[in-house]
Structure 1
Amino acid sequence: MPLDNLTINRVCLHEVYQRADGGAVVPPTYGAGLLVLDDRALQAFRSRVSAAFQSSSQCMEMSVRVHGQGSVLANGVDALATNNDRFAQHSRLFADALASAQTSRQMPGGLVVVFDGTVGNPAAPFFAVMKAELHEGFVKTNDLQAQFVSDLFLSPKTKLYKIGIFVSDGAHPRPALPEGWSAIVYDSAMTASQRDNAATYFYSGFLGLDIPVNAAQQVRKFFEETKAFIRAAELAEERRVDLYNGLYVYLKLDQGNTIQTSRFAETYMDEDLAEDYLTHMRRVRFPVAAVAKDLSEVAGSLRLRKFKFARSITLSGPPDAVRDLVTVQAIEGEQGATWTQVTIRGRIEAQE
């Protein structure tokens, strides 16, 4: 989600802290005014922001859930309309809100960077809030010695930061919030296959945003929750293998353009197991209706079907080949132990 034609206008810096031992909020430390950056520093800051939003796997457009008075969106819109002195004063509200949203001592402190500017062509105004965690490193001195510092931030190789950016569509007159505004979040912990890795306290508790429900995310949820059900069900190992094979086949080889829990249950499960499965999927709030089969977030997981055994022994292959050529059966081994008998209908073609 690149930020084309990005310009940075005003920047303010504050600091929030880890909660106290008793769980109380530690008041933030506020910057005195606008952050003064020379051209080189401003360009570096702009580069960090632009680079973050180049990574489509670590950023996501989100839906605005909280937009009333006192919300991050409402405060940001108000801040955009102020002069520089008022902007610096108004930006303190974001530090207060983030300190309150960090409800656990497991959430580290860091710097709150509030900034605004324009993006796109034609240029549209935006405001953004970044949380940048501090980290340690060494700084080279003029006499080729090194000085250890513990308060580095925004280093290009250490992406310990999160950014929420709110972009206006430029509509006039100003519509009722949240109309006319889009929100995008960058979080270095997020990946394309694990959107839930994004820090909930930041995007939800602080920014008031929700991860939008789309087909790719729903298909990933179907894949993960169905695997979880099969893993936990009281089944013979051979039956468990059949269900895993069925899941891979249903997603990867079935020619339908939608997925549906009832259809999967009817195709691969007996009546009692199907009822338990459908109950499980309702419990995790997966839709009963059909969902478009967008495999973009599970494509990597569907390439190979894997069996893992003790002492790092792994058997893997394309799901259709595993279904057609591999039989897995639990057998009784020595001293009552359970062993696994794997039959492959084919000869060894190579060894490494």
Structure 2
Amino acid sequence: MELIDLHLTRVVIHEVFQRADDRTRVQPRYGNALEHLDGDAVDALRGRIVSAMASPAKCLQMAINKTELGSMFHLATQLVDADDQLFITQSQQAAELLADAQASRKIPGGILVAFTGRAGAPARRLVGIIKAEVHSGFTREQSAQGMTLKYLKNLLLTAQTKLYKIGLFFEANPEAEGQPADRWNAFIYDETLTLANRDGAAQYFYEGFLGTKFLESSARNTKKFHDLTKNFIRAMHVPEEERIALHNALVAYLKVDQSPTVSIQSFADNYFADPDIRDTYRKHMIASNFPTVAVAKDISDVSSVLRTRKFMFRNHVRLIAPAEGFDDLVKIEAIEGDQDPQGQRPRWTKITVKSDISGQE
């Protein structure tokens, strides 16, 4: 998301805490005044927000899922219209919602930064929430003895830190009729997101706290199809050679097949000969909430996974090969190994690489 000409109008901070040892909720600590930031501080904060929200790998548009009284979205629509004093007191509810959402002891506390502002041309209103974890570091100071280091215990939102998440509600369509959610767009920034793993975002933050959910994009659906099908193949009780062939078929179905869609039915009919396996696969996909109809194919979120095939063996040997045309490059067979002292023959794997050695490391 490009935040053109972002202007911050109000900023307030509160503090939320990690759950106690007995997992009880710790009461947040509230700020009781707006932050009065000088020019450099405002520019730095604005820069952090703009840079984060412009990240194609770490920022996502989300669907607003919870709009009822007491939800973060409902609170955001109140904060944007509140006067300064009401903004300070009402934003405390955001800290309460975040403390409720952080139900696990594994989730650290941090500073909650609530802000309002405008961005875009024409300018549109926005409400944002940053959860920033506190860390420590050093700064330099000039003294009579020369340059010295000063230790700072409670730092946040520095240029180097990755320990923050942002939720943003942006009034993209102020003239739209209907429900309030029709006028607003929601976005999240989370450092744990990657292009290959959109599900890596902290669920407690985007769902439990912000009340949003992932948009059902073509790229997300295609990745979900790949992941669910791959897990199904991995769990099948069939010879390893058949699993390898099915994995290759999945890569070909997504990367080589010219069909603009993917679907449970077409993959099952084309690659599972056994009717019982086809039926089990359909049930597996439907139980995992994958659409029963065909969905548009977009491999952008899974393209890196489709480039290579990786095999791990129990003796720590690894094989990496291009996924495309795998059968023309490598042949893998299960064979009986040498007889051990007990008269048993272990299962070995015979690998034939259809090329000579070009080098080694």
TM range, normalised to the smaller chain? over 0.9
Say if 1:337 and 1:167 are closer, same or farther in 2 by CA, change over 3 A: same
Which residue of the partner structure matches residue 292 of structure 1?
A: 296
Q: TM-score, normalised by structure 1?
A: 0.95
Alpha-carbon distance between aligned partners in 1 of 2:175 and 2:240, rounded to the nearest angstrom = 63
Pairing 1:341–2:344 present: no
Tell me by how many angstroms 1:312 deviates: 4.9
* Alpha-carbon shift at residue 310 of structure 1 (Å): 4.7
Contact 2:206 2:212 in 1 (8 A): yes
Q: How does 1:307-318 map to 2 (within 5 A)?
A: 307-310=311-314, 312-318=316-322
1:123 Cα deviation (Å)?
Answer: 0.3
**Structure 1 stretch 164-173 or stretch 203-212: which is displaced more?**
164-173
Aligned residue for 2:222? Answer: 219
Q: Does 2:166 align with 1:163? A: yes
> For structure 1, which segment, 259-268 or 108-117, has the greater mean C-alpha deviation from structure 2 after superposition?
259-268
The answer on 1:281 being equivalent to 2:277 is: no
Deviation at 1:350, TM superposition (A): 4.5
User: What is the total number of aligned residue pairs between the two structures?
Assistant: 352
Task: State which drifts further: 227-236 or 271-280.
Answer: 271-280
Which moved further from structure 2: 135-144 or 285-294?
135-144
Q: Is the 8 A contact 1:60 1:185 kept in 2?
A: yes
TM-superposed CA distance for 1:138, in Å, is 1.9
The answer (yes or no) to whether the contact 1:33–1:89 under 8 Å persists in 2 is no
RMSD of Structure 2 on Structure 1 (CA): 1.8
- State the one-letter code of the partner of 2:350: Q
Q: Aligned equivalents of 2:173 and 2:257: distance in 1?
A: 45
Deviation at 1:285, TM superposition (A): 1.6
Residue equivalent to 1:10: 10
Alignment of 1:107-146 (within 5 A): 107-143=107-143, 144-146=147-149
**TM-score (norm. length: structure 2):** 0.92
The separation in 2 between residues aligned to 1:21 and 1:88, in whole angstroms, is 30
2-structure distance, mates of 1:158, 1:112: 15
Cα distance per residue 1:196-255 (max 9 Å; x no partner) = 111111111111111111111111111111111111111111111111111111111111
**SS of equivalent residue, structure 1 residue 231:** helix
> Which range is displaced more, 116-125 or 80-89?
80-89
How far does the alpha carbon of each residue in 1:131-181 deviate from its partner, in whole angstroms, 9 at most, with x for none? 111112123233333233331100111121111110113525985321201
Distance (Å, rounded) in 2 between the aligned partners of 1:228 and 1:269: 15
Secondary structure of the 1:27 match is coil
The match for 1:70 is 70
Cα deviation, residue 273, structure 1: 2.2
Q: Which residue of 2 aligns with 1:241?
A: 244
Mean Cα deviation higher: 319-328 or 31-40? 319-328
Alpha-carbon distance in structure 1 between the residues aligned to 2:100 and 2:17:
10
Mind listing any 5+ residue stretches in structure 2 that lack a counterpart? Answer: none
Match in the other structure for 1:19? 19
| Partner secondary structure for residue 246 of structure 1 | helix
| CA distance 1:279–1:211, change in 2 (3 Å) | same
Number of the residue aligned with 2:183: 180
Provide Cα deviations, 1:6-63, integer angstroms capped at 9, x if missing partner. Answer: 1111000110111122222211111121011001101000000011012111011111
State yes or no: 1:330 paired with 2:317.
Answer: no
CA distance in 1, matches of 2:175, 2:250: 50
Displacement after TM superposition at 1:343 (Å): 2.1
Alpha-carbon distance in 2 for matches of 1:75, 1:174: 20
Note if contact 1:125-1:170 (Cα within 8 Å) is conserved in structure 2.
Answer: no
**Matching residue's letter, 1:317:** A
Question: Shift in Å at residue 94 of structure 1?
Answer: 0.7
Residue identity matched to 1:341: K
